[in-house]
Structure 1
């Protein structure tokens, strides 16, 4: 879906501003947005050095340097400017990126070594993690570890976790994490994206299975069944 910019309400997706019904000004088409967003994810999460970009210890890269680097690598993106990066960040529904003081960073899913300085307040009392049904007991007994990532990624709701897990697993099981007890034991949880939270690991004592007959989970099963 294309991105346009309303003078009063900022960047939006689609043909008309949802706030005032104005056409606004064209920013980029949906294909261009998706291509640039994928390139941003790769650079900011995994390989800034491939684009000769300097990333600080907290994962920040200059917006100007990022837009210039992408344009250099792909001559078809010669038109790319800082405002296009800003538009992608502003309209990302999952809060994958943030911009501050002329710099941009990914908020989660890093494989590069960074030190998180994300907020740790107002964390929900319960968070959720998807696993394959075959590996459910392994996690309930041994806890949750980051694997190939630097952090364990937790979801705000059962639905969020189910959607994330369905990318990799058929009808994933969902683990509920007791965040109150986890924090009381000295573990830190960071608020990253809109519905994403990060922590180093989750001990098994804080994990319980969301029952398969849970109402929210049952609705996800019905939705998956309709898609098959």
Structure 2
């Protein structure tokens, strides 16, 4: 079983195109694991997938992308569909990090961090992880430091995506510093 490919397929189905898999999501983004399983099994390359494979991917996902409860599964963040996963605001760490392209850095410093087609801005607790994400768009990304605790005190809501990722709807530029330009 190629768990990396299965994880990518599950992410695509739960975050971006549930209709392609005929998944019936509730208002919180939850789908029956059995329904997801049957939808995956309809594709020839996943015909042998079993429920335990889905559970394994959800539990071992390196970025904690999935949540399972009461025989249901959902993606926790990164949705491009109109569904908004409701999260309770939390107390973020003092600093968070966001990796971005050199091209986007100036616009972010002028206009703030915006979700850009996603529901939330994603920020990492670790600068190395943020730079790794930034390398998807630029081989020499810019590391931005977000003064999360200060922004929270001034009314910016932060939501815990998982142990490695925090989310916000928008972060005003005054809370962002350029940490590193490669």
**TM-score (normalised: structure 2):** 0.92
Kindly indicate whether residue 48 of structure 2 is the aligned counterpart of residue 79 of structure 1.
yes
Residue 162 of structure 1 is matched in structure 2 by 131
Residue 174 of structure 2 is matched in structure 1 by 205
Q: Does structure 2 conserve the Cα–Cα contact (< 8 Å) formed by 1:192 and 1:198?
A: yes
User: Higher mean Cα deviation, 61-70 or 189-198?
Assistant: 189-198
- Alignment partner of 1:189 out of 158, 162, 167: 158
Unaligned runs of 5+ in 1: 1-28, 213-220, 222-228
Residue 146 of structure 2 is matched in structure 1 by 177
**1:44-88 alpha-carbon deviations (Å, 9 max, x no partner):** 00111111111111111111100111101x134333222110011
Q: Does structure 1 conserve the Cα–Cα contact (< 8 Å) formed by 2:90 and 2:157?
A: no
**1:64-120 alpha-carbon deviations (Å, 9 max, x no partner):** 100111101x13433322211001111111101111111111111100122333353
Residue 35 of structure 1 is matched in structure 2 by 5
Q: Does structure 1 conserve the Cα–Cα contact (< 8 Å) formed by 2:145 and 2:178?
A: yes
Q: Does structure 2 conserve the Cα–Cα contact (< 8 Å) formed by 1:108 and 1:193?
A: no
Question: How many residues are paired up?
Answer: 182
**1:152-208 alpha-carbon deviations (Å, 9 max, x no partner):** 111111111001101111211111111112112222111113311111111011111
**TM-score (normalised: structure 1):** 0.74
The CA RMSD over aligned residues, in Å, is: 1.7
In the alignment, the residues of structure 2 paired with residue 138 and residue 77 of structure 1 have an alpha-carbon distance, to the nearest angstrom, of: 42
Pairing of 1:107-146 with structure 2 (within 5 A): 107-146=76-115
Residue 151 of structure 1 is matched in structure 2 by 120
Q: Does structure 2 conserve the Cα–Cα contact (< 8 Å) formed by 1:68 and 1:81?
A: no
Larger Rg: 1
**How far is the alpha carbon of 1:151 from its aligned partner?**
1.3
The 4+ residue runs of structure 1 with deviation greater than 4 A are: none
What is the SS of the residue equivalent to 2:28? Answer: coil
Tell me which of the two structures has the higher relative contact order, counting C-alpha pairs closer than 8 angstroms and 6 or more residues apart: 2
